[in-house]
Chains A and B, each alone.
Chain A
Amino acid sequence: MNFWDYLGTRHQQLLTDAYQHASAVFQCMVVATVIGVLIGVATYRSEWAGNLATTVTSTVLTIPSLAMIGLLIPVVGLGVAPTVTALTLYGLLPIVRNAIVGLRGVDPALVDAAKGIGMSRLHRLARVELPLAWPPILTGIRVSTQMLMGIAAIAAYASGPGLGNEIFRGIASLGSKNALNQVLAGTLGIVVLALLFDAAYVLIGRLTIPRGIRV
């Protein structure tokens, strides 16, 4: 059975896996973005807290994902829970870092001007600082998503959802005729999903980055 035949006969399964992969990554990214930006907003004004957040996130980023999942299993069990926890945790890191860098990079004169025309703290944050810090945050989201695509594949080993299952099925049946097809389908599926997400982010960037600061 060649690859195209394989895709033809298994497309139902593959589409389900692809959908689950994309939806797991997407949902975790939404949660990670919200939490990451909140952490950034909470810490960027203090030198100490901001640096602590950056150091902690970069330390966690060096932990291999399989080890992280391994540490999570005794706590939350197998299945969707460790996948979602690990994905959200890893997804946070580039976003927190970029949010802090972005928010600190906002010209203080602009914030001062906003204060001068009578904007409240919350208003300044929502109308001035966050829109200006949005491009780096969006870059962080892109980096996170690419990373999560690969981590989600590994999480399938802890009975997580997604295309990683296809790859692990292939590894389990090494030597059989379908092993290559399964691994190839899983891998290429993830690459395609990653590229689709990336294209979507370019579009989101076009739509959401204020025209005045577009490069």
Chain B
Amino acid sequence: MSPTPGDDPHAPRRGPVARQAARPPGEHEVKGLAFRDAYRDEYGEDPEGYGAEDPAGPGPSASPVAREPRRVTWQKLTFLPALLAAVLLATWLWFARADLDPISRNALSDGQVGKALRQHVELTALSTFFVLIIAIPLGILLTRRRFRKGAPVAMALANTGQATPAIGLLALLVIWLGIGERAALTGIVIYAVLPVLSNTIAGLRANDPTLLEAARGIGMSPLGVLTRVELPLAVPLILAGVRTALVLNVGTATLATFGGGGGLGVLITTGITNQRMPVLMLGSILTVVLALLVDWLASLAEIVLSPRGLEVRS
């Protein structure tokens, strides 16, 4: 295919046209002077037609698509999973050659490893779900005018809560609720609610009040302001809270074994009490891999789900 002269697909087709025609969108003429809305600085976006006015000169790179940096680089996509796969492979190879004594074999037989892993994932997912449906609405409530007085109390409580050891909290719940998954789940949820709550409150509070004022000024209802302005602006912080919760929960879920809640902690504690290093190593390695994998997935979600307008460009 040979492009005819003047019809080069890479040439700035818009440039000359835009300049001859009326001013491009976003530009106005005020008393004979050209003014341009500060779209680019505000949002880091390049609406249609702006590339043409670029002082660096219109060129192929000036098209909006080309200057958009990739949100997820391939290094980020591949490095960690590859590393984790290598670790798992090495562990598997080591186990295939290791000769286990009856106690170790007993602890790892009958799909107990799979069961522990499944329980662990289940505990993490369930607890994260509960953390989110408790902490985020509560955070929203505590930033409304009527309940705003409660926020400092919640924050102070969150700070003291951090000083409470997870294992002590879990043990108290086990005594109160009895051994089983319920006590473990409750403990994990309580332990993670506070950080996510304080994250949500901080995120909603950090919103520029002039934006909220503007939203109200154009006649948005309180609900509209919340769902269309406040929450989208707070998404990055809330997502960071979700990530925190997930990582915390994977960790706290290892302690579920002390309350009869199962999970990968079972393998670790069995390994320690029976002095069986293969069991201990397998439990620990699987826990580490799971934690890093969950953190990686959450970091991807953080990047993909953040509103594009809020991205920080260097």
Contacts and interface: CB of A to CB of B under 8 A. Distances in A.
A191 B175 contact: no
Contacts of A146: 162-163
A67 B255 contact: no
Contacts, number: 118
Interface in A70-104: 70-71, 73-74, 78
B160 A191 contact: yes
Given A66-B268, A71-B288, A149-B165, A180 B175 contact: yes
B186 to A, nearest CB: 15
Interface in A130-166: 146, 149-150, 153-154, 157-158, 164
Given A62-B292, A174-B174, A191-B160, A150 B272 contact: no
B171 A187 contact: yes
B168 interface: yes
Majority secondary structure of chain A interface residues (helix, strand, loop or mixed) = helix
B287 A191 contact: no
B254 interface: yes
Nearest to A72: B284
Given A71-B284, A150-B167, A171-B258, A62 B175 contact: no
B269 interface: yes
Nearest to B267: A70
Interface string B252-263: 101100110000
B163 to A, nearest CB: 4
A195 interface: yes
Nearest to A185: B168
Given A74-B280, A150-B165, A154-B167, A67 B174 contact: no
Contact of A174 (B166, B175, B277, B284): B175
A8 to B, nearest CB: 21
Contacts of B250: 62, 64
A50 interface: no
A3 to B, nearest CB: 12
Given A187-B171, A190-B168, A70 B291 contact: no
A197 to B, nearest CB: 9
Interface in B4-36: none
B163 A157 contact: no
Interface string A162-193: 00100110110010000110011011001100
Given A66-B254, A191-B160, A157 B272 contact: yes
A67 B254 contact: yes
Contacts of B284: 66-68, 70-71
B165 A179 contact: no
B254 A64 contact: yes
A49 B230 CA distance: 38
A124 B280 CA distance: 48
Nearest to A61: B247
Given A70-B283, A73-B280, A174-B179, A63 B292 contact: yes
B2 interface: no
B254 A167 contact: no
Question: Which interface residue of B164, B166, B168, B291 has the most chain A CB atoms within 10 A?
Answer: B168
B163 A64 contact: no
A62 B171 contact: no
A202 B201 CA distance: 25
B251 A64 contact: yes
24 contacts: A59-B292, A62-B292, A66-B254, A66-B284, A67-B254, A67-B283, A67-B287, A68-B288, A70-B281, A71-B288, A74-B280, A74-B281, A150-B164, A150-B166, A153-B165, A153-B167, A157-B272, A167-B165, A186-B168, A187-B172, A190-B163, A191-B163, A191-B164, A195-B163
Interface of B: 160, 162-169, 171-172, 174-175, 179, 247, 250-252, 254-255, 258-259, 264-265, 268-269, 271-272, 277, 280-281, 283-285, 287-288, 291-292, 295
Given A64-B291, A167-B171, A171-B259, 17 more contacts: A62-B247, A63-B288, A64-B252, A67-B285, A70-B272, A70-B283, A71-B281, A150-B165, A150-B166, A153-B167, A157-B272, A168-B258, A174-B174, A183-B172, A184-B172, A187-B169, A191-B163
Interface of A: 59, 62-68, 70-71, 73-74, 78, 146, 149-150, 153-154, 157-158, 164, 167-168, 170-171, 174, 179-180, 183-184, 186-187, 190-191, 194-195, 198
What 6 pairs between A and B have smallest CB-CB spacing?
A: A187-B168, A70-B284, A64-B251, A194-B163, A67-B287, A150-B165
